[in-house]
Amino acid sequence: MLHYETKDLTTPEVHKLLLGGVAPRPIALVSTISKDGINNLSPFSFFNAFGANPPVVAFSPSRRGRDATLKDTYNNLIETQECVIQAVTHSMVEQISLASVEYSPDVDEFIKSGLTPIDSDLVKSKRVKESPFQMECKLLEMRSFGEGGAAANLAVCEVIKFHVAEDLFSNGIIDPIKIDLVARMSGDFYSRAGSGVFVVEKPIGKKCIGYDQVPKHIRDSEIYSANDLGKFGNSESMPSEDDVKLFIQKIVKEKFADFELGSEAFLRYQRLNEYKRMLKAALEMKENQKKNIELSVKCALNNNDMDFAWKAALFVKDVK
């Protein structure tokens, strides 16, 4: 590990560390209007949501690193006490990058970026038509932390109206693939969030047994990863010895069509995620039995079949 005390680093060094380690960051595309009626549009990735009652979001239009001057977004927010924040989709990313160029305050960045302004309902700042998720906001508080270059100005805002495209939803939630958001990483790197989407079952409200209560022979396995063990720890209980016995008897008796034995067939079942066939084959093949059963468990875990995974994993205890 490298170890740094902040006092020994320059501001650009600190900035680079934050951009790399606090990532991926959602991007707020913030639209404000000056007191002279000029529209301003800029992206900010020091941004997040902090509560839902009332809905509070915050972002930081920092002081410019070069000369510590205040950005137009900051000045407009102080003057008008309002803004519109929109989510940034992959289809808009080049245009929002263009909106980050430092144009002078009399330049309308909607025109420069080619994004389309549309009227808001409750604030004067315009909404960005191309974004499928827009939030009309009132400034609650502006907190400044220092007056040097890159000093944070935390703009804490309350969302007073949401505009959301209806086609974003699947099963009552905003579908991460459909919304296709981008996030900011270090340097010039962005992340297309939908491409990395996966599911982790929420432990909320569950009395999970925890990592430490996963039986030792499972924790000691060389096949399971830390994430696999975390999944076991995320369960509320484990099956009894009798349940495990019955489960194994059932698999042994079960007749699968075109079932084959041998290491080649086992590999094929593994490729096809056929973990029940993997287990049946492992039980009948004597070589590498422990390892093969654990591979079937791993495959069941990948398919979120916790009942199978637990029973097969507990059975391994008595396998040599």
Ligand X SMILES: Cc1cc2nc3c(=O)[nH]c(=O)nc-3n(C[C@H](O)[C@H](O)[C@H](O)COP(=O)(O)O)c2cc1C
- Amino acid, single-letter form, for residue 1: M
Q: Which stretch binds ligand X (CB under 6 A): 96-104, 215-223, 242-250, 304-312?
A: 96-104
72 binds ligand X (CB under 6 A): yes
Member of 40, 86, 120, 296 binding ligand X (CB under 6 A): 40
Determine which residue in the list 24, 26, 33, 43 makes contact with ligand X, applying CB under 6 A.
Answer: 43
Q: Nearest distance from residue 137's CB to ligand X, in Å?
A: 15
Using CB under 6 A, which of 11, 80, 81, 97 touches ligand X? 97
Cis peptide before 61 (omega within 30 of 0): no
Binding residue count for ligand X, defined by CB under 6 A: 17
User: Which alpha helices (H) appear in the chain, and where do they start and end?
Assistant: 11-21, 72-80, 93-99, 109-113, 176-179, 216-219, 226-233, 241-253, 263-271, 275-284, 289-302, 306-315
Q: Which of residues 181-220 bind ligand X (CB under 6 A)?
A: 184
Q: Is 73 in the site for ligand X (CB under 6 A)?
A: yes
Q: Is 270 in the site for ligand X (CB under 6 A)?
A: no
Q: For the CA atoms of 136, 140, 144, 149, what is the dihedral angle to 10 degrees?
A: 10
In single-letter form, the type of residue at position 198 comes to F
Nearest distance from residue 318's CB to ligand X, in Å? 56
Q: Which region among 7-15, 37-45, 121-129, 272-280 touches ligand X (by CB under 6 A)?
A: 37-45
Token pair, residue 42, equals 């800029």
Judged by CB under 6 A, the stretch of 35-43, 136-144, 159-167, 229-237 that binds ligand X is: 35-43
The rounded distance, in Å, linking the Cα atoms of 139 and 81 is 5
Could you say whether residue 42 binds ligand X (CB under 6 A)? Answer: yes
Under a CB-based contact definition with an 8 Å cutoff, are residues 123 and 32 in contact? Answer: no
How far apart (Å, rounded) are the C-alpha atoms in residues 272 and 109?
51
Residue 245's SS3 state is helix
Query: What's the distance, Cα to Cα, between the start and end of the chain in Å?
Result: 39
* Beta carbon of residue 190, minimum distance to ligand X (angstroms, whole number): 7
Q: What character string, x for contact with ligand X (CB under 6 A) and - otherwise, covers 158-187? A: --------------------------x---
E strand or H helix that includes residue 301: helix 289-302
- What residues form DSSP beta bridges with 182? 192
Residue 282 binds ligand X (CB under 6 A)? no
Binding flag, residue 241, ligand X (CB under 6 A): no
Which residue do the tokens 């890159």 mark?
A: 150
44 binds ligand X, rule: CB under 6 A: yes
Candidate residues 13, 79, 102, 318; the one interacting with ligand X per rule CB under 6 A: 102
Of 39, 45, 134, 234, which one interacts with ligand X (CB under 6 A)?
A: 45
Toward ligand X, which CB reaches closer, 60 or 235?
60
Structure-block tokens of residue 166:
């209806």
Nearest to 298, CA basis, from 213, 224, 217, 216: 224
Say how far apart CA 317 and CA 83 lie, in whole Å. 60
Shortest distance, position 120 Cβ to ligand X, whole Å: 18
- Structure tokens belonging to residue 34: 């000056």
Does 71 contact ligand X by CB under 6 A? yes
C-alpha 229/C-alpha 214 separation (Å) is 7
Question: Does the footprint of ligand X cover residue 80 (CB under 6 A)?
Answer: no
Q: Give the footprint of ligand X on this chain (CB under 6 A).
A: 27, 40, 42-46, 60-62, 71-73, 97, 100, 102, 184
